[in-house]
């Protein structure tokens, strides 16, 4: 799980264990946090300083290079694990840095057993993955969620470095359901980590939760008349109306988040390469309706979620990124859906930020 130290800046599990024991003996507390910390910015520094004040020593667990590639895409990390560790160790608030190769932090938390575990403010204790939460509860580790610094994120830094002004990028979200993904996107926008703003939320369903989410965040929630009772369809007139409204709003990126109708021209042609969809399976497996039920019925051991570009097919466009979710022995439709949602809430805002930073 941990990588043996290859530089003086990366500590071994034994060194961390020794630090923990020394602290415990003196009734002092070890704080652990984890993350990628690819390009250090003031948001990181303030977060780490605050984490350090919660206890008497701070250990930062950073993802190894391979797991960063898996999590963030082939262009990352910008800096190697040993360089990231060296930068972090130069901060007065950081005592030790360890590297872990898993996508999840569960094993490293279990190995280090800190007194306090901190996460950035885009997580709430409820949105920690089940496995992590169960372990922290079992070990009696205190969980502290620290606020992120608005406008300070690695994606925003990368966008600035690439010379693009993404502050004015405008997103429209389309959804038919309760809007938990819309909420995650709006939270990322509020934290400044999206590189754009949500200009409007469209729903084909009167009274849908996603419209309430829109009003909660002060974003226009707009009803789209599908023009037909037929499931999954929008009439030509409705599609034309949608394309016109998106253009009038100056939308740069269209984001489908649980939108249960198929998009066609003129929306597709007007927004080619700029429409994203989220699907709760590892496409191309289980496209279309009820993918989670199909996953369970097929006895799959693993599923996940996919973000892809929208083309004229149903869930057939180019896959941008996926996150895997294991199927557990006793999973019900509800429990599996809820774990996929957790993965979606992490994945979608991140992919949207990446797409916005690449827009011409
Ligand atoms: C999400 O799980 C999304 O993947 C799925 O609808 C849910 C919407 O939840 N989308 C599809 O099935 C599209 N084919 P939300 O309204 O809470 O964001």
Q: How far apart are CA 301 and CA 293, in angstroms?
A: 13
User: Please, are residues 357 and 253 in contact by the beta-carbon 8 Å criterion?
Assistant: no
pLDDT at 145: 84
From the CA of 180, give the closest atom in ligand 1.
17
Which residue CA neighbors atom 16 of ligand 1 most closely? Answer: 179
> Which residues of the chain form CATH 3.40.50.620?
13-152
Q: How far is the CA of 52 from the centre of ligand 1 (A)?
A: 38
**Is-contact 194 349, C-beta < 8 A?**
yes
CATH C-level class of 13-152: alpha beta
Compute the distance from residue 246 Cα to the ligand 1 centre, in Å.
Answer: 21
Q: Pick from 171, 178, 115, 109: which is nearest to 352 by CA?
A: 171
- Exactly one of 41, 44, 115, 279 is catalytic; which is it? 279
Nearest CA to ligand 1 atom 5: 258
| Ligand 1 and 308: CB distance under 6 A | no
CA of 260 to the centre of ligand 1 (A): 8
If one residue of 181, 284, 287 were mutated to test the ligand 1 pocket, choosing by the most ligand atoms within 8 A of its CB, it would be 181
Residue carrying the six token digits 């939270």: 187
Any ligand 1 atom below 6 A from CB of 155: no
* Rounded Cα distance, 306 and 67, in Å: 18
Nearest CA to ligand 1 atom 7: 258
Q: Is 295 in the pocket of ligand 1 (CB under 6 A)?
A: no
Cβ-based neighbour number of residue 32 at 10 Å: 26
What residue's CA is closest to ligand 1, atom 1? 258
* Most informative mutation of 174, 279, 336 for ligand 1 (most atoms within 8 A of CB): 279
Nearest CA to ligand 1 atom 17: 180
What is the spatial distance between Cα 126 and Cα 34, in angstroms, rounded to a whole number? 18
- Assess whether the C-beta atom of 114 lies below 6 angstroms from ligand 1: no
pLDDT score for 2: 44
Residue 257: CB within 6 Å of ligand 1? yes
Q: Is 279 a known active-site residue?
A: yes
pLDDT (tens, 9 = 90+) of the chain, 360 residues, equals 444 456 889 999 899 999 999 999 999 999 999 999 999 998 899 999 999 999 999 999 999 999 999 888 888 899 999 999 999 999 999 999 999 998 788 999 999 999 999 988 655 555 567 788 889 999 999 999 887 665 667 776 777 777 665 457 999 999 999 999 999 999 999 988 898 999 999 999 999 999 999 999 989 999 999 999 899 999 999 999 999 999 989 999 999 999 999 999 999 999 999 999 999 999 999 999 999 999 999 999 999 999 999 999 999 999 999 999 999 999 999 999 999 999 999 999 999 999 998 887
φ, ψ for residue 267 (rounded to 5)? -65, -45
pLDDT of 121 reads: 63
Tokens in use for 211?
Answer: 């419209």
Complete edge-to-edge strand list for the sheet that includes strand 302-309: 221-223, 197-203, 170-174, 253-256, 275-279, 302-309, 319-326
- Alpha-carbon distance of 219 to 309, in angstroms, equals 24
Q: Is 2 in the pocket of ligand 1 (CB under 6 A)?
A: no
Instruction: Give the residue, by CA position, lying nearest to ligand 1 atom 6.
Output: 258
Eight-class DSSP state of 176? S
Report DSSP letters for 231-291, one per residue.
TT---HHHHHHHHHHHHHTT-SEEEESS--S---TTHHHHTTT-EEEEESS-TTSS-SS-H
CA atoms within 13 A on the CB side of 192: 13
* SS3 state at 53: helix
196 lines ligand 1 (CB under 6 A): no
| Cβ(256)–Cβ(174) below 8 Å | yes
Ligand 1 mean position to 35 CA, how many Å? Answer: 27
The CATH classification of domain 155-358, taken from the options 3.40.50.170, 2.40.30.210, 3.90.340.10, 3.20.20.80: 3.40.50.170
Q: Can you tell me the distance from the alpha carbon of 202 to that of 359, in angstroms, rounded to the nearest whole number?
A: 22
The 116-120 sheet, strands edge to edge:
96-100, 57-63, 30-35, 116-120, 142-146
Burial of 119 per CB tally in 10 Å (0-12, 13-18, 19+): buried
Helices of type H across the chain: 13-25, 42-53, 65-72, 81-89, 106-112, 130-139, 154-161, 180-190, 209-216, 236-248, 267-270, 291-298, 333-358
Strands 253-256 vs 197-203: parallel, antiparallel or unpaired = unpaired
User: Is residue 280 in contact with ligand 1, taking CB distance under 6 Å?
Assistant: yes
pLDDT reported for residue 1: 43
Which residue's alpha carbon is at the smallest distance from atom 10 of ligand 1? 258
Listed residue (16, 1, 92, 18) closest to 59, CA to CA: 16
């Amino acid at each position: 799980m941990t990588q043996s130290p290859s530089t003086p800046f990366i500590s071994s599990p034994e060194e961390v264990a020794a630090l923990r024991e020394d602290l415990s003996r003196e009734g002092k507390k070890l704080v652990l946090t984890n993350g990628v910390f690819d390009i250090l910015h003031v948001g990181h520094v303030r977060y780490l300083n605050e984490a350090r004040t919660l206890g008497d020593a701070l250990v930062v667990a950073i993802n190894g290079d391979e797991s960063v590639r898996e999590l963030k895409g082939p262009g990352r990390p910008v800096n190697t694990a040993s360089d990231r560790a060296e930068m972090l160790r130069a901060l007065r608030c950081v005592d030790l840095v360890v590297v872990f190769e898993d996508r999840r932090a569960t094993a490293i938390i279990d190995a280090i057993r800190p007194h306090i575990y901190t996460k950035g403010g885009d997580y709430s204790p409820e949105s920690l993955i089940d496995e992590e939460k169960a372990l922290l509860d079992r070990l009696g580790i205190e969980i502290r969620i620290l606020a992120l610094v608005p406008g300070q994120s690695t994606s925003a830094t990368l966008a600035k470095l690439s010379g693009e002004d993404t502050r004015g990028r405008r997103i429209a979200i389309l959804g038919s359901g309760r809007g938990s993904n819309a909420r995650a996107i709006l939270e990322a926008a509020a934290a400044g980590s999206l590189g754009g703003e949500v200009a409007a939320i469209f729903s084909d369903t009167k009274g849908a939760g996603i419209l309430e989410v829109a009003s909660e965040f002060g974003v226009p929630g707009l009803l789209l008349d599908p023009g037909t009772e037929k499931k999954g369809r929008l009439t030509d007139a409705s599609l034309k109306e949608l394309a016109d409204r998106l253009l009038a709003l100056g939308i740069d990126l269209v984001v489908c988040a649980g939108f249960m109708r198929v998009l066609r021209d003129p929306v597709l042609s007007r927004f080619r390469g700029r429409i994203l969809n989220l699907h709760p399976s590892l496409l191309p497996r289980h496209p279309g309706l009820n993918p989670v039920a199909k996953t369970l019925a097929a006895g799959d051991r693993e599923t996940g979620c996919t973000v892809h570009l929208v083309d004229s097919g149903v869930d057939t466009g180019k896959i941008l990124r996926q996150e895997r979710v294991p199927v557990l022995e006793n999973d019900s439709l509800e429990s599996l859906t809820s774990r996929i949602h957790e993965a979606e809430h992490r994945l979608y805002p991140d992919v949207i930020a990446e797409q916005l930073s690449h827009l011409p």
